[in-house]
Amino acid sequence: MIEAVVFDLDGVLIDSEQVWDTAREKLVHERGGRWHERAQRDMMGMSSIEWSAYMHDELGVPEPPAEINDEVVRRMIDLYRERLPLLSGARAAVERIASRWPVGLASSSNRPIVELVLELAELGPFFRATVSSEEVGRGKPAPDVYLEAARRLGVPPERCAAIEDSHNGIRSGHAAGMRVIAIPNRDFPPDDEALVLADLALDSLGELTPEVVSG
């Protein structure tokens, strides 16, 4: 029986992957690094500690990872303040689900970005618990961020549903023992090996209803 629902943020509620890609790739080029076609996919779901180290070690950005993280976050905040790419149906979906269960957020984004998005989208009051992967030991596909969200909600993870869009996110929710509902990212779809781990796949947020979540 489902007793709580945990949303991912990037790719589920906001169309952000291209924004992250733009901010990171521009920084890599500015610093004389070497961007490659696998970079975006490799970093999807990583915690800030993990992707900033990746940008330093694999993409050749010379600054220390902590400085890389701070600069990317600054650029993301500026871009979101210019235009928040809230996905169609995001607010309505959160309202529908929050009317039935306690709702949490398990995001790979940094805490300042999570707070800004919820403020700009006016979604903060709906979420009883929010977790950034920088607050746990490992980013997705490890289960840490979902397990922490369940702990903060006070609900066993096996009684939670995770709403995800990406290969690493689906793996993370599944590893946490949650019922995983996938809404595949159209631009960066999850691979088949990850998608098969989802309990259900939907085409859009418009299909996300309490009845669907309950199964």
Which residue segment(s) compose the domain that 112 sits in? Answer: 4-15+86-214
Would you state the pLDDT for residue 215?
86
The overall pTM is greater than 0.75: yes
State the DSSP string of 84-132: --BPTTHHHHHHHHHTTS-EEEEESS-HHHHHHHHHHTT-GGG-SEEEE
**Do 162 and 179 fall within a single domain?**
yes
Q: Mean pLDDT throughout 32-42?
A: 91
- Of 56, 82, 108, the residue that ends a domain is 82
**Do 96 and 64 fall within a single domain?**
no
Read off the pLDDT of residues 199-213 as tens digits, 9 standing for 90 and up: 999 999 999 999 999
- Of 82, 103, 131, the residue that ends a domain is 82
Residues that are catalytic: 8, 10
Domain count, the chain: 2
**Do 111 and 66 fall within a single domain?**
no
Residues counted in the chain: 215
Q: Is the pLDDT of residue 186 over 90?
A: no
